[in-house]
Homo-oligomer: A and B are copies of this chain.
Amino acid sequence: MSRRAGDVPDLVRRATEADPRAVARLISLVENDSPVLREVAAALAPYGGHAQVVGLTGSPGVGKSTSTSAIVTALRAAGKRVGVLAVDPSSPFSGGALLGDRVRMQDHATDPDVFIRSMASRGQLGGLSAAVPQALRVLDAARCDVVLVETVGVGQAEVEIASLADTTLLVVAPGFGDGIQAAKAGIIEIADVFVVNKADRDGADQVARDLRYMQSLGGRHSVPGAWRPPIVKTVASRGEGVEDVLAALQKHCAWMAQHGELERRRQARAAAEIEAIALGTVQRRFAQVHGSAALSAAAERVVAGETDPYTAADRLVEAL
């Protein structure tokens, strides 16, 4: 099944025509950090900027997957093409994606205008794999109108997903007080739209009030003229309120475009991506220039208490 590098332009052409097999193949190429990754990235470059990238995050159990599926259904009803990336950054091992919840996505599995992909891989420097932004580029090139990036993990992943998205959607639910606690100020700061799912349950109003209260405590949302994240109530399992989520996403997108925020976010994202790639290159160069022997010798001296890691690191950099 291997393809030669010469196939890349053809694959990209077919991806821009929304050929599902070409899309799947290109994501595999970027996910496996194959030698043709750079060629793929270069070929994709002209086709970006179409999709609204929506990060979907929240604690386990709040109904993230159900929400994703319901949003996909609503977007499809509106005639939109949709990509879904389910990312599990907790795993440094490939092939270990938690696919259990993905079952819900099978409603969309046969829809040629829905692309669904799970990614389990994780980057060398910790954090999300560099493959995730490239996979987003593939789905963007395939003319997806919206790409939903859902994280399976919690905590740090939430912050990182937000850094990849145009719009970040935080899903909460009544009975997950701990979840909101865990979400902490950081996640509240990062969300552009709040979804209170399972809104038919007791406590949904209280959750919404809690969110509003946390917003009122300050942060970037309280700056005059800033986007004020709406709080949308849903029962995703019955599709209730999902149209309101779509409206909130569109409103946020329009607001960002109007205020130059979309451009600003996308540039910040590109800058972070360039820097991460450059650091990866430098890291590989460390290995080439010094060999593992020099690093091992330095590590030995640190373990023996003869030097400290900062002094050892300085020498490593100087020798570059």
Contact = CB atoms under 8 A, between A and B. Distances in A.
Interface of A: 37-38, 41-42, 44-49, 60, 89-93, 96, 98, 100, 122-123, 125-128, 133, 153-160, 178, 181-182, 184-186, 263, 266-271, 273-275, 277-283, 285-286, 295-296, 298-300, 302-303, 305-314, 316-317, 320
B263 A303 contact: yes
B307 A45 contact: yes
B267 A316 contact: no
A275 B267 contact: no
23 contacts: A38-B308, A38-B311, A42-B308, A48-B303, A92-B156, A92-B186, A93-B186, A96-B186, A98-B181, A125-B126, A126-B126, A126-B127, A155-B155, A263-B303, A267-B296, A267-B299, A267-B303, A270-B298, A273-B309, A274-B299, A274-B312, A277-B309, A279-B286
Contacts of A263: 303
B159 A92 contact: yes
Contacts of A155: 89-90, 153-157
Contacts of A186: 90-93, 96
A182 B100 CA distance: 11
B279 A279 contact: yes
State the copy count for this chain: 2
A36 B181 CA distance: 34
Contacts of A313: 274-275, 277-278, 280-281
Nearest to A91: B186
Contacts of A46: 305
A303 B270 contact: yes
Contact of A90 (B93, B182, B298, B312): B182
Contacts of A278: 286, 313-314, 316-317
Contacts of A307: 42, 45
Given A42-B311, A133-B309, 16 more contacts: A41-B311, A42-B307, A46-B305, A49-B305, A89-B155, A90-B186, A91-B184, A96-B185, A122-B156, A125-B126, A271-B299, A274-B299, A278-B316, A281-B314, A282-B317, A282-B320
Contacts of A48: 303, 305
Most B C-beta atoms less than 10 A away, residue of A154, A156, A285: A156
Contact of A310 (B41, B285, B303): B41
B274 A283 contact: no
A310 to B, nearest CB: 5
Nearest to A285: B317
Contacts of A49: 303, 305
Contacts of A275: 283, 286, 295, 313, 316
